[in-house]
Every structure is written in structure tokens, then in C-alpha cells.
Chain A
Amino acid sequence: MTIEWLHPGLLLIAGAWLLPVLRGRLKQAAMLALPAAAMVLCFLSEPGEYGKVSFLGQELTFGRVDKLSLVFSYVFSLMAFLGMVFALHVKDDFQHVSALTYAGGALGVTFAGDLLSLYVFWELMAISSALLVWLGRQEGSVAAGFRYLLVHVFGGLLLLAGILLYWLETDGSLAFGDMRDVAFSASWWLILAAFLVNAAVPPLGAWLPDAYPQASVTGGVFMTAFTTKSAVYVLIRGFPETELLIWLGAVMAIYGVVYAVLENDGRRLLAYHIISQVGYMVCAVGIGTQLALNGATAHAFAHILYKALLFMGAAAVVHTTGKRKLTEMGGLYKTMPITLGLYMIGAFAISAVPLFSGFVSKSMIVSAAGEEHMLSIFLMLTLASAGTFLHTGLKLPYYMFFGKDSGVRGSEPPKNMLAAMGLAAIACTVIGIFPGLLYRHLPFAADYAPYTLLHVSATLGMLAFTGLGFFLLLKHLDPTPTISVDTDWFYRKSAPAFAKLMRGPVSRLEYGIVGQIYEVVIRAPVLGAARIFRLIDSGLVDFVLVGLGRLTQLLSRGLRLLVSGHAQHYALVMGLGLLLLVILALLVP
């Protein structure tokens, strides 16, 4: 690390370990100071390349600071701050350390100038966010966390394989930039697939609604921000103007909406709307014009804030009522009016109501589709817009806060939760009223005017008549106590079936065929060889050993005659010996 630039992500990752050793107010101060410091560092960063490290002959760049990485770093660090405010009352150091590490990983991905350091932070995010799922400590959190981790390990392996192939294809370059040079090569596909896993693009996206509702109440708020939006960032960086993404994104925008109709779990419904909203961004990356890429960036920025606000609202309800399902709620407006009000600001923002942030960001993407004369994309995105308002702005608040009074009372959440929601709500409104504040940080210079008469009038018409449709069809929208299967069905159902197959038919087959082959090829020759060795052993080796034993016995019997143990015999032998010596001495000259 160079002195002139301190990596905000590393600050969070290293600083997180301060929290377990601090106590009380000091800990809470550190929880806020760390992301605040990271935010200041991001805002003070000047474009340039920092933190160049040579590792195993590769040049790694930890700090590529340009307009694109800066604007994402602003919103990531801001989100880390809001998330910590929201989690301030939680007495669980593990969660805080994981959350800060996760946010730090996202900043690391944002500033990574090469694929290897990108990969390191990518995996760090996967692990720390899986911890947030496990720390949900609910029934099902452990299993959901493992499924989440397995999907991301799979994605990480795709990325690693892609990076290795990229390194081979480009003769030793690991620089991360526009991937057009290697378009449609194996590495291009692998890296794109890894990015699409994290962006939760169907059919690779079922991990998101599976895991997020299982995460801890405050951890889930962090999760809404970082994984999918850092994936959007790397897509903007590496895959602009990839036509495939236009269609994937538009389908994705509708896919999330369809599932949201069927969903009964409040946070799962919101999770499907993350998929829908990220669909707009993926689509914009595919369109790839300057306006579209600006739109993807602006929408990611606005989305992080309003989605965090929405998730905080739903999390506050879960926190105070302990209920997650819409079928078990209703009538909460009486006891949680502030939560309702703040939630509705987020709902207006995501629904792109004029004067709220979604309006000024989403419209850039829809306009970009318009400028390229993509009618079907325009219609698909507008349809998804109506669906967004229908669910997030009408269905969820209706059944959660109004609707049939369930008798569940609840109360306003702790002050810090309300404060975090308040700050996010202010951000959503300020961006909506003063879009210039956001636009000037976008990667490309653009003089885009969101508030045209046509656009405002069409949007208001669309929203108002979606509302009409909602109330006309209200009885068809009643949530039902069901779950909806997504593509995770394939691995969730197939894993037990696979185990059954293995234990049953496959193990019998294995015994019948492999076992028989083993019998003939291995067991019989081995037994034969063993018999031969046994014969050699008993015939030859035993004969020799037994023979040696007998010989020794014979000799010792002979010796025993000499060694009688009587002193007179020994004296006699000695006398005989002396006599012999004397005779020898006389006879030999």
C-alpha cells in the first residue's frame, strides 16, 4: 500500500477486528466510525492507480480509482454506514465483523484493477455473507447458508477457471477491463457466468431469495446491497454492449415480478424485487451506450439505498412481531406508523414515483432502450415497473400494515433502526429532487433530464392505473401459505434424490458388477498368490528354521555332557590339559 492512498475496504476488513475487543459505547462508536472513515476515504480519493503490488511475477492493482469505481465506492461505504446504524443495538460481534468484512470485500472488488485481487475480494464476500446467513440463527439458516455458500463457491470456481484461461489467452495479462478482446472465448464465458451468478440472473439466481430471508434481521440489510451490485459493477466494467445481457436483463426484470405475485414471505418478496431491479441494470449494461451505462450506475446507486430502506422496514416488522409471512400480518399501521411512512418512501423510490430516487435512475435505462429503438425491451421494462409498484408499493404494505387486522401488534423498532431508515429515506428523496447531485458522479458526462412532461405524465398514469388494477383484483392477490419453487428446486430436490439413488440402485449395481469383477480380477489372484506364499513359508522357510533349531539342540546336548556342573570334573579336565601341555613341551624341541 502506498502512503498517499489508504484502501477503504482494507480499513473495514482490518478494523472490524477491533469490535470484539471494545465494550459498550466505545464499541458502538467504532461501529459507526469505521464505515464513516471508509466513506471519507472514498470521497477524498482522487482518480489514479494506487496500491500496486508485485506478487509471483504478477502486477496486482488494489486501487484503481476512476469515476466508475468511485461512484460505486461512495454508495457501498454509505450503505455500510447505514447498515451499521441499523445494527447498532445488536449484541453479536460475529455479525458486525462479518458485515464489515463483507462491505470491505465489496469495496475491494470495486477498486481491484486486476482479476486476481478481484478474485480474492470476491471470495471474501462470499464467505463473509454466508456467515451472515448462518448468524440468522433461525430454523433453516444453516441449510440455507450452506446452499448459498455452495452456489458462490461454484461461481468462484468459474471465475478462477476463467481467470486462468484469460491469463493463458492473453499471454500473461491479468488486467481487468473491457473483455471485448477475448469475446466469446472460453475465459469470456466463464468470467461472464461467474458475474451472472452473483448478479442473480436466472436461472443462476435462486440463491438470492433462498438465502436473504434466512439471514439475520440486520445482516439481511447488508446482503441486499453488496453482492448483486458489485456484480453489476464488474459487468459494467467488463461486459458493456453484450447483447445477450439485454435480453437476460429484461427477462430478469419480469421474472422477479412474477415470483413476487406468488410470494408470502415479506422479505422473500423484496428479494425477488432485487432480482427484478438488477434486471434493469443488467439490461442497461447490455445496451451499453453511455446513457445506458450511466443509467445502470445511477440505478445501482439509487437501488442500494431504497432497497436497504425497504428491507429495513420489513426487518423492523420481523424484529418487533417475530412474524415473516404476510398471511400472519395485517393491521400494523396502528402501532408502527413511522415504520410504515419510512417504508413507503422506499416503496415510492423503487416504484419510480416522481420526486423519488428510482424515477431519476430507472428512467435513464428506459430512455436508453428508447433511444436505441428497442420497443420490446421498452415494453418489458415498463411492464416490470408496473409490477414493482404493484408489489412493493401496494401488495406488501397493504397486507403487512393494512388489510385484515391479524391481531399482531408489534411496536416501533429501536431508535437506531428508525434512524437508519430515516437517513436512507432522506437519501432517496434528496436524489429524487436533486438528481444533479447523483448525475455529476456518473462515469460518463451526460445531460439527462428526467423531469420531462411526457415522462412525468406517463409515469403518473402508469402508477395510478396500476393502483386501480390492484384494488380491482385485490381478492386474487391475497397471499396464500405456500412457497414457490425456483431453480433452486433442481439442487434442493435432486441432492436427496441423488443420495437415494446412490444408496439404492447404484450401490446394488456396484455390488453386482464391480463386486463380481473384483472377485475375478482381484480377489482370486490375490488368494492364489497368498496360497503359494503360504506353501513357501511352511515348506521352505519353516524347514530351514526348524532345521536350525534342531541342530542347535543337538549341539547343546553334546555340550551339556561337558558342562556337568561338578568341580571335580572341571579339575580333572584342567589336570588332563596341564598334562598334555607338559608332554607337548617335552616332546617338541
Chain B
Amino acid sequence: MSFLQRQLEDPVRLKRIKRLSIAVLVLVVVFELVVLFATDAHHHFAVEALPAFGSLYGLLSCVVIIVVSKLIGKLFLMKREDHYDD
């Protein structure tokens, strides 16, 4: 059993990984807030001064990309695999 397998196939450890991931998310947001409020970092745009802009925009981008792409795909682009076989 490899290291990865042990981590992923043991429900206790998998749970630990999930908790760890949530902790990372929180830490990242805190880091962003600290940089925003505690340093005089130089912004190019006003939107970047929103609290935790990177995190917000990342989540938004991810959701928009998935939803919009799937929509376009289902409506127009996705075809059966034999689409080009005549």
C-alpha cells in the first residue's frame, strides 16, 4: 500500500485531509485580509481592494466557468462521438 493509498482509502485519514483543507481555505483568506489591511500593498485596480478579492474571484470564476461552459456545451457544442463519421 502506497502512502497515497493509505491516505485516501482510510476514512479517518480522509476526514483529516478534509479538515486540513478547510483550515487551508481559512488561512488563505486570513492571509489575504492581513496583506490588505496591514500592509500598504500597491493595487492596480479598486476591485483588488475588496476584502479577500483573490478568494472571492477564484470561487466566482470557478463557478462561472463550469456553469457557463456546460450551458454552451449542452446547447451547442457537445455531440456524440461519431458526429464526424458519415
* Residues in chain B near residue A480, CB distance under 8 A: 78
Chain A binding surface SS class = helix
Task: Give complex CA distance A259, B61 in Å.
Answer: 15
Asked whether A454 is an interface residue with its Cβ less than 8 Å from the other chain, the reply is yes
B76 to chain A, nearest CB (A): 8
Question: How many of A's residues come within 8 Å of B, CB to CB?
Answer: 53
Task: Give complex CA distance A465, B28 in Å.
Answer: 9
Q: Can you name the residue of chain A whose Cβ is closest to the Cβ of B42?
A: A454
* CB-based contact B63/A458 at 8 Å: no
Q: Which of A333, A452, A486 contacts B5 (CB 8 A)?
A: A333
B20 to chain A, nearest CB (A): 12
- Whether A466 touches B69, Cβ cut-off 8 Å, given contacts A378-B44, A458-B48, is no
* CB-based contact B63/A473 at 8 Å: yes
* CB-based contact B83/A386 at 8 Å: no
Asked whether A21 is an interface residue with its Cβ less than 8 Å from the other chain, the reply is no
* CB-based contact A387/B61 at 8 Å: yes
Q: Can you name the residue of chain B whose Cβ is closest to the Cβ of A458?
A: B54
* CB-based contact B8/A457 at 8 Å: no
* CB-based contact B5/A482 at 8 Å: no
Flag A449-484 by CB within 8 Å of B: 1 or 0 each: 000111001111111111111100100110011111
Complex interface: stretch among A241-249, A369-377, A421-429, A564-572: A369-377
A338 to chain B, nearest CB (A): 11
* CB-based contact B39/A453 at 8 Å: yes
Task: Give complex CA distance A203, B48 in Å.
Answer: 32
* Residues in chain A near residue B81, CB distance under 8 A: 481-483
Task: Give complex CA distance A466, B66 in Å.
Answer: 11
Asked whether A94 is an interface residue with its Cβ less than 8 Å from the other chain, the reply is no
Asked whether A408 is an interface residue with its Cβ less than 8 Å from the other chain, the reply is no
By size class, the interface of chain B is 35 or more
- Whether A468 touches B25, Cβ cut-off 8 Å, given contacts A258-B72, A482-B81, A483-B81, is yes
Q: Which of B45, B47, B62 is packed against the most chain A CB atoms within 10 Å?
A: B62
Flag A332-375 by CB within 8 Å of B: 1 or 0 each: 01100100100000000000000000000000000100110101
Asked whether A146 is an interface residue with its Cβ less than 8 Å from the other chain, the reply is no
- Whether A464 touches B58, Cβ cut-off 8 Å, given contacts A257-B65, A480-B78, A484-B78, is yes
Task: Give complex CA distance A378, B53 in Å.
Answer: 13
* CB-based contact B4/A337 at 8 Å: yes
* Residues in chain A near residue B67, CB distance under 8 A: 476
Q: Which of B1-51 contact A (CB under 8 A)?
A: 2, 4-5, 8, 21, 24-25, 28-29, 31-32, 34-36, 39, 41-45, 47-48
- Whether A468 touches B59, Cβ cut-off 8 Å, given contacts A370-B44, A378-B44, A484-B79, is yes
* Residues in chain B near residue A457, CB distance under 8 A: 28, 31-32, 34-35, 54
- Whether A461 touches B58, Cβ cut-off 8 Å, given contacts A337-B2, A378-B44, A383-B64, is yes
Q: Which of B5, B34, B59, B76 contacts A465 (CB 8 A)?
A: B59
- Whether A257 touches B69, Cβ cut-off 8 Å, given contacts A370-B45, A484-B78, is yes
* CB-based contact A473/B66 at 8 Å: yes
B9 to chain A, nearest CB (A): 10
B52 to chain A, nearest CB (A): 6
* Residues in chain B near residue A402, CB distance under 8 A: 8
A433 to chain B, nearest CB (A): 20
* CB-based contact A334/B41 at 8 Å: no
- Whether A466 touches B62, Cβ cut-off 8 Å, given contacts A258-B72, A262-B73, is yes
Q: Which of A453, A466, A483, A493 contacts B59 (CB 8 A)?
A: A466
* CB-based contact A454/B73 at 8 Å: no
B65 to chain A, nearest CB (A): 5
A554 to chain B, nearest CB (A): 77
* Residues in chain B near residue A493, CB distance under 8 A: 84
* Residues in chain A near residue B84, CB distance under 8 A: 483, 492-493
In the A-B complex, list the 9 residue pairs whose CB atoms are closest, starting with the nearest: A469-B62, A461-B54, A370-B44, A458-B54, A462-B58, A461-B55, A386-B61, A454-B41, A261-B69
Which residue numbers of A lie inside 8 Å of B, CB to CB?
A: 257-259, 261-262, 333-334, 337, 340, 367, 370-371, 373, 375, 378-379, 382-383, 385-387, 390, 402, 452-454, 457-470, 473, 476-477, 480-486, 492-493, 496
6 A-B contacts (beta carbon < 8 Å): A387-B61, A402-B8, A454-B42, A473-B66, A483-B79, A492-B84
Which residue numbers of B lie inside 8 Å of A, CB to CB?
A: 2, 4-5, 8, 21, 24-25, 28-29, 31-32, 34-36, 39, 41-45, 47-48, 52-59, 61-70, 72-73, 76-81, 83-84, 86
